[in-house]
A and B are shown apart, each in its own frame.
Chain A
Amino acid sequence: MSEATGPSSISDFHESLRSRSTTVEQVVSSYLERMALSRSLCAYLSEFAGQSLERARELDECLSREGLDRLLERSPLFGVPVAIKDNIHVRGERTTCASRFLENYRAPFDATCVARLRDSGAVFLGKTNLDEFAMGGSGENSAFGPTAHPLQKERVPGGSSSGSAVAVAADLALAALGSDTGGSIRLPASFCGIAGLKPTYGRVSRFGLVAFGSSLDQVGPMARNVSDLAGIYRAIEGHDPRDATSARIAPSGSGPSLSSEGRPLRIGVPAEFFVEGLDPEVKSTIDRVLERLRASGATLVPLSLPNLVHSIPVYYVIATAEASSNLSRYDGVRFGVRSEAAMQAESLEAFYEEARALFGREVKRRILLGSFVLSAGYHDAYYRKACQVRRLIAEEFTRAFEQVDVIAGPVAPGTAFRRGALERSPLQMYLNDLYTIPANLAGLPALSVPIGADSTGLPIGLQLIGRPFDENGLLQAGLDVEALR
């Protein structure tokens, strides 16, 4: 017998296993049923029906042999049904990156974060939709169809981790992995009313994550609440010898307890985050939450981070430069789709032209932009300059964190917008990343927590940015915010 709804949290799920009121198989199969009924949302690009049920049955056998509590000691995510963004490798399964080019590509290995989830006992339900190669903020740039917002289908769920956000929000997975280069976890989390964490750059291995902007990309968890977020995060964090940029720093481990009692929190509020262009409903909701935090003992510290205004141009120079190079490998020589036209090409140049014609518009736009900013004669004015300003932004944050524990602000200027609304204006679309980009540029951990909804019922998120490698402190602050609800 399957349930109409899934468990509300990881601990709720484990409690029902402990009380034997359900089995892993029952829970997984109920997710699979809902996934099948919700295909119109276009949240998943592939569903692992057979594999996940088989895995669930194996886990149920372990459960009957060993008992849940012993299993949880070594597998804290025992049986947890998780969705994986389709730019992260699950061995033997397709990794399409929502691109025609990789439509037939099967991952030859597990991403490190996936292997770690597997070791922690998670069950993979499938691979989720995204903006092609994680390039986009709306979830509309998928070659396999746009992901729909679960509450209002004519609206976008946010991107690029659109499918992962929708899967969690629409009860199609208990938690999910996303990736965040300029807000791709936090933005859809905020639009869909769930929690999302972009860890510190270097905290989670990028091995097996298909690269977009290598100096900005981070894998992170998306879940219904901050405790679940922490649970997934702990499973995937930590040094990986296969990623040279993964930090050789002790994992946060269980760290300070995630209880809601704690020291008085100093919350920085940058003036640059609350300027014209911010939706008044979003602003007032955030103001209210900050006020309640203050009332419950936190200190609000006004900040000025003047270099933040340069974030968008700096980001779109650096991210596209790296992307133009990262996407060069999609040439149709060794893997991926080699179109009929490419096969007929008369010259090498014509071959490349045809093979690389499979990219979508946004991907092409970014490859062109990135090639331009790196090209001879423009490199210094764009790429080099952007790297310098990036350093200034990071330094500004370092100084700010001498006075505060976390920095608070919006995740996006507004709530979920209508599908197609920004289609003709890439620049307007890029401006949507204004609040999320600085954390990527500075490599800082950042969190999106749901704090309410606008008058039409669309969710609003609060962004919290933490000190480098202080995910514990950041998650603690997230719990504090969540406790206000």
Chain B
Amino acid sequence: MSVLDFEAVIGLEVHCQLSTRSKIFCSCPASPPAGVSVSSLQPNQNVCEVCCGHPGALPVMNAEAVRLAVRAGLAVGSRIRQASVFARKNYFYPDLPKGYQISQYDSAICEGGVVEIEVDGARKQARLRRIHLEEDAGKSVHEFGVTLVNLNRAGVPLIEIVGEPDLRTPEEAGDYLRELHAIVTTLGITDGNMQEGNFRCDANVSIRRKGSSPFGTRVEIKNVNSFRFVEKAIAFEIQRQVAVLSAGKVVVQETRLYDPQKDQTFSMRTKEEAEDYRYFPDPDLLPIVVPENWIEEERRAIPELPAQKRDRYRKDYLLPAQDTRLLTSSREWMQFFESVMASFVSTLPVDAFAKAAANLISGELSRLSHEAGLALESARVTPIHVARLVELLLGNQLSSTAAKKVLQLAWSSGDSVDVIVAREGLIQQNDAGALEPLVSAVLSENPQAVEELCSGKEKVLGFLVGLVMKKSKGRANPALIQDLIRKAVAATTQLES
């Protein structure tokens, strides 16, 4: 039996931290102040008697968290429950202060819903079971041979988005997760930071023979916090389960963890060791009643969603699918791109402008922002920089190499594009007369390369263009250089024959 005989059945449960000012049941800040990273907070700095679970303390619902959950539900077409109930999920762990987590059990605030993904060019609807509100637990830190507990996170509001087992491949699961991430970040209800664990997922994976309808035994992979890891963890798990079944054994219902270093999942606990959470309605909290006007207000607060944006970019800017997906994958990129497009001048073709802008954003700019660990919103490079660069690029006044250099300089200084271009003398050299001496110098310095080019090795062309670019300090127009090299080489060949 091989992988091909089986079909995987995958359902994801996504935990997403809501960006409310205060925690879900007390007035402690839910996250550090803007510009301060979570790691620079003192341990147990944002805590009070409520989120530490002191005796006598009581939870009080944060209405903002309810609104954000409602907004999430409306965006994916959930039915909003007029009244839903908080329940206690009882288990012992040192970073769970009350010995129970306040969550929702049989009555979630949002029921149903759909996330649309693309599979082989066709649209596929992945159904949601529900979205519920809950509080996060704290964090256990194991170091110096002891376990320390940090409760800054305890009581931070989360939504758990529970998907139906509608996904069939690791790639579908990855696409679903990316789309969900794009939706919740576009909605502005979370920062979606996956490194901090503010958007993380559990994957339920089972396999069955192709064509058979009953589900196989389900394995849960806990706490995966990157798109790539989710795909890899599921791919590994499918292989593992196929191997188990092929060997005539049975898949054990269990919870597993994914180790990215080994690219393997390993068992955390089996069903027998699973906790009995003893859910019951939390008597300290009244049912969440969502007023009709909140639903209307939250509906109005929903911006253009990633799927709609992709359609529009495709239609209005003729951008290829790959670019539209990239640009809509996060709110900051999308906003940045749209601001660039807002300064579009009509003398240029809009599709070329959009494509060039998309390339700069998803290329050099994302590299810079990633390297610096800085969000685009707080970077010195603004959409105005990018718009001006695109103008110069499309007007043949700047090479793309020079454009990258300008971006790098603007990233550190914040100076305007024109100032940098003038200071660095980067305006593109389009004058063939001025470039010819550089070309002939390069050709005479590299006779072997010229020979290879003559014998049809086209690859060498790029190498020679690069050398001329270097001599021109990046100013030369590469297309022009290419022409000049070809002409020069052709002339030589003619002479020789």
Residues in chain A within 8 A of chain B (CB atoms) = 88-89, 95, 97, 102, 105, 107-109, 111, 206-211, 213-215, 241-245, 321-322, 324-325, 327-331, 333-335, 348, 352, 371, 374-376, 379, 383
Contact = CB atoms under 8 A, between A and B. Distances in A.
Given A244-B60, A328-B99, 20 more contacts: A88-B56, A89-B56, A95-B56, A97-B55, A107-B56, A207-B57, A211-B284, A242-B58, A244-B59, A245-B283, A325-B90, A325-B99, A325-B280, A328-B90, A329-B54, A329-B99, A331-B92, A374-B278, A374-B279, A376-B278
A275 B52 CA distance: 48
Contacts of A208: 56
Contact of A383 (B52, B56, B280, B284): B280
Contact of B276 (A322, A325, A352, A376): A376
Nearest to B282: A214
Q: Choose among A88, A214, A334, A379 the residue with the greatest number of B CB atoms under 10 Å from its CB.
A: A334
Interface string B274-316: 0010111001111000000000000000000000000000000
Given A244-B61, A328-B92, A331-B92, A211 B280 contact: no
A215 B57 CA distance: 15
Nearest to A133: B55
B347 to A, nearest CB: 60
Contacts of A105: 55
Contacts of A242: 58, 60
Nearest to A89: B56
B55 A215 contact: no
Nearest to A328: B99
Nearest to A217: B283
B60 A95 contact: no
Nearest to B98: A329
A207 B279 CA distance: 23
Nearest to A208: B56
Contacts of B100: 325, 328
Contacts of B90: 324-325, 328, 374
Nearest to B94: A333
Given A244-B60, A244-B61, A329-B98, A214 B55 contact: no
B474 interface: no
Given A328-B92, A328-B98, A348-B94, A111 B280 contact: no
A376 B105 CA distance: 14
Given A245-B284, A245-B286, A207 B278 contact: no
Interface in B340-380: none
Contacts of A89: 55-56
B53 A375 contact: no
Contacts of B60: 241-244
Contacts of A383: 280
Nearest to A102: B55
Contacts of A334: 52-54, 97, 149
A123 to B, nearest CB: 22
Contacts of A241: 60
B58 to A, nearest CB: 5
Contacts of B283: 213-215, 245, 322
B132 interface: no
8 contacts: A88-B56, A210-B56, A324-B90, A325-B88, A330-B55, A331-B99, A348-B94, A379-B280
Contact of B278 (A211, A333, A375): A375
Nearest to B277: A376
B424 interface: no
B196 interface: no
A224 B52 CA distance: 39
Contacts of B280: 321-322, 325, 374, 379, 383
A211 B55 contact: yes
Given A215-B283, A325-B280, A328-B90, A210 B55 contact: yes
Contacts of A102: 55
B59 to A, nearest CB: 7
Contact of A379 (B57, B61, B92, B278): B278
Interface in B229-281: 276, 278-280
Interface of B: 49, 52-61, 88, 90, 92, 94, 97-100, 149, 276, 278-280, 283-286
A88 B279 CA distance: 27
B87 to A, nearest CB: 10
A213 B283 CA distance: 9
B57 to A, nearest CB: 8
A109 B278 contact: no
B284 A244 contact: yes
Name which of B56, B94, B149 has the most chain A CB atoms within 10 A of its CB.
Answer: B56
A242 B100 CA distance: 20
Nearest to B92: A352
A335 B151 CA distance: 14
B278 A108 contact: no
A295 to B, nearest CB: 43
A376 B272 CA distance: 13
A325 B55 contact: no
A243 B59 CA distance: 7
A330 B286 CA distance: 24
B92 A211 contact: no
B493 to A, nearest CB: 80
Contacts of B59: 244
Interface centre among B53, B97, B276, B283 (most CB of A within 10 A): B283
Nearest to B44: A334
A294 B57 CA distance: 46
A376 B89 CA distance: 12
A95 B55 contact: yes
Contacts of B94: 331, 333, 348
A243 to B, nearest CB: 5
Which of B52, B92, B100, B280 lies at the interface centre, i.e. has the most chain A CB atoms within 10 A of its CB?
B280
A109 B49 contact: yes
B252 to A, nearest CB: 19
B49 A108 contact: yes
Contact of B54 (A245, A335, A371, A375): A335
A207 B53 contact: no
B122 to A, nearest CB: 42
A324 B279 CA distance: 12
The list of the 6 closest CB pairs from A to B, nearest first, reads A328-B99, A374-B278, A215-B283, A214-B283, A210-B55, A329-B53
Given A245-B286, A329-B99, A206 B53 contact: no
Contact of A111 (B53, B56, B276): B56
B264 to A, nearest CB: 25
A208 B49 CA distance: 10
Contacts of A245: 283-286
Contacts of B279: 374, 379
Contacts of B56: 88-89, 95, 107, 109, 111, 207-211
A110 to B, nearest CB: 10
Q: Which of A208, A213, A371 has the largest count of B CB atoms less than 10 A from its CB?
A: A208
Contacts of A108: 49, 54
A466 to B, nearest CB: 22
Given A214-B284, A325-B90, A325-B280, A244 B58 contact: yes
B167 to A, nearest CB: 28
Contacts of B57: 207
Contacts of A324: 90, 278
B464 to A, nearest CB: 67
A243 B88 CA distance: 17
Contacts of B52: 334
Nearest to B53: A329
B220 to A, nearest CB: 17
Contacts of A109: 49, 56
A211 B57 CA distance: 9
A327 B90 CA distance: 11
Contacts of A330: 55
Given A328-B100, A331-B94, A375 B149 contact: no
A88 B99 CA distance: 21
Nearest to B147: A348
Contacts of A333: 94, 97, 149
